Amino acid sequence: MNKIYKSLLAAALFSAGAANTPIAMAQSQNAAKKGESSKKTIGSFTSVKPIGQSGTITYPAETHEIQMLAKSGVTSYNVGGTGTIPGNNDFTAFIPIKGSSKKGYLSVNHENNPGGVSVLDMRLDESTNLWEVKAVKKVDFSTLVKTERNCSGGITPWGTVITSEETTSGGDANGDGYQDVGWQVEIDPASGKIVDHDGDGKPDKLWALGRMSHENIAVSKDRVTVYQAEDGGSSSIYKFIANKPEQLSEGTLYVLKRDSETATTGTWVQVPNTTQADRNNVYNTAKSLGTNWRNPEDVEFGPDGKMYFTSKGTGTIWRFKDNGTTVSEIEAWVTPKLYEVYYNGGSQTEDWGTGIDNLTFDGEGNLWALQDGGRNNVWVIKPDHTPEKPNLQLFMTTPYGSESTGLNFSPDFKYGFISIQHPSGSNTDTFTDAAGNEVQFNKDITFVFARKEDLGKKNADRGKGNALVPAKLIDVYPNPFLTGTKVSLEMPEKANVVLEVHNMQGKSIETLHSGVMNAGKYTFDFTPSEESDNGIYLVRLQVNNQKSTTKIMKADN
């Protein structure tokens, strides 16, 4: 075991487990009625129950597993810097090494001021089906003064990653004629170095792409065509045509102009971007040239040849066909309304709301949609979805105070890499991940998810999990208490339940329940004995393979 591995292990990033074997997907009758696929692909699952935010995440634990990879304030840099990685994790990009889905670099944006990017050098240990983080690099932006609010970004076909600055703060500290922030920045993930575009030996930002509140970037397989979304400013969709393949430092910039407020057609209008003044002021110039789409948050290539983008302000996912100088078939593909969610045990409507943010397609044409607003859900829109005949599933709910960010898949679409940004520090619920880590969403976390047969070990509890979230089920009152308190529990469905009280040293003080518990409401009394009285206790609830911990206190008389 090398020194880097030991240090990461000590930081509780991962631990070893046994090899797993395939298991069958659990399907509910409701899911079957909706035509849910039984194929063992990452987009094949039964929806979780819509519950809004809780103390942890919910995901389809019957079929999927997660593994923590990095945590803000815990994971340490060992290349390019010292200390621990910062928070506000955003774009989470997996850049494969030589096309591999089992080894690559995970580039994680940090949406701060100053901003940052961390790069994890990772490998999949096929004997355990667990990911190992071999090194954690800190990208140095000091040669470019700084980056700021590194939001989303994109991966290029030639194996680099682009990080997007979502701000137009003013300042030219190095006097080079370009404003310091508001740009796209290309990084070589292998070296952690910023790309030198003009060959003068110094790194550059991608000035020709324009200064704006960049949300993301999508680079075409033709290595020439680029699309960008601006969250704020002009709130427009842009297209850039490079003069040479793989060289995004020179080219022509356009902004999308819809022919009318309701038209299904539009035109690409050229935006001046040849001089430093032009490039510094793109976000202002484009306001009068293009259409305001109400805070576009992401633009992505669809498997049907169309472009898909979000409107965070309206909660709409739009799509259109690019014909070169014009566009056609502009359509509001997903719109805010109540959608029926079929979960294991029933169905209910869930409000789509607003705040639609990141978009990512998987290998089957499912569109994964992450929300920053509303209920902050992770949705999956099926390929046959239409506005008239909706077909959506709910993959994940998020912890209190947070949003999910930056979803990106491995080339074989078996592994999804995602982050949870700014969760509440008051979240105390825990559960055990695929590597055996006790995961608590009280700081930013980056993790990988996959189907169970592709991630982690198989044991007696795997395959029996469900989407129950202990944090939403348990309540303790009074807390603090004088002599005794009541622990209330509401079970939405039948499950195996262990409810215990521990002292702060981890010793079990009292088992309130252990065994199968039917759906319903339950109340348990807890009165500590004098010999066990230490003032602070932990109520630990385990529902199948999900765990929650709630702190309670005895007040002084």
Do 131 and 101 lie in a common domain? yes
| 306: number of Cβ within 10 Å | 19
* pLDDT above 70: residue 32: no
pLDDT band at 535; cut points 50, 70, 90: confident
Distances (CA, A) of 246 to 36, 69, 86, 436, 517: 40, 31, 31, 42, 59
DSSP reduced 3-state for 19: coil
Do 417 and 479 lie in a common domain? no
DSSP annotation string for 277-313: HHHHTHHHHGGGTS---SS---EEE-TTS-EEEEETT
pLDDT for 554 equals 86
Task: Classify residue 462: in a domain, yes or no.
Answer: no
pLDDT for 134 equals 94
pLDDT for 231 equals 95
* pLDDT above 50: residue 245: yes
Range(s) of the domain holding residue 501: 470-553
Half-sphere exposure of 209 (CA within 13 A, CB side): 34
pLDDT digits (tens, 9 = 90+) for 502-522: 887 778 889 999 988 888 889
Do 134 and 197 lie in a common domain? yes
Residue 397, C-beta contacts closer than 8 angstroms, at least 6 positions apart: 48, 50, 51, 52, 53, 54, 57, 58, 375, 376, 377, 378, 469
* pLDDT above 70: residue 470: no
Q: Which of 231, 183, 165 is nearest to 372 (CA)?
A: 231
Task: Classify residue 522: in a domain, yes or no.
Answer: yes
pTM equals 0.79
Element (H, E) at 164: strand 161-165
CATH number for the domain harbouring residue 365: 2.120.10.30
pLDDT digits (tens, 9 = 90+) for 291-301: 999 999 999 99
Do 129 and 21 lie in a common domain? yes
> Which bin fits 235, alpha (ψ -120 to 50), beta or left (φ > 0)?
left
pLDDT for 212 equals 98
Do 283 and 414 lie in a common domain? yes
pLDDT band at 259; cut points 50, 70, 90: very high
pLDDT band at 477; cut points 50, 70, 90: confident
Do 418 and 502 lie in a common domain? no
Share of the chain above pLDDT 90, in %: 76
pLDDT digits (tens, 9 = 90+) for 50-92: 999 999 999 999 999 999 999 999 999 999 999 999 999 999 9
Please state, rounded to an integer, the average pLDDT across all residues of the chain: 89
Q: Looking at the 3D structure of the chain, how many domains does it have?
A: 2
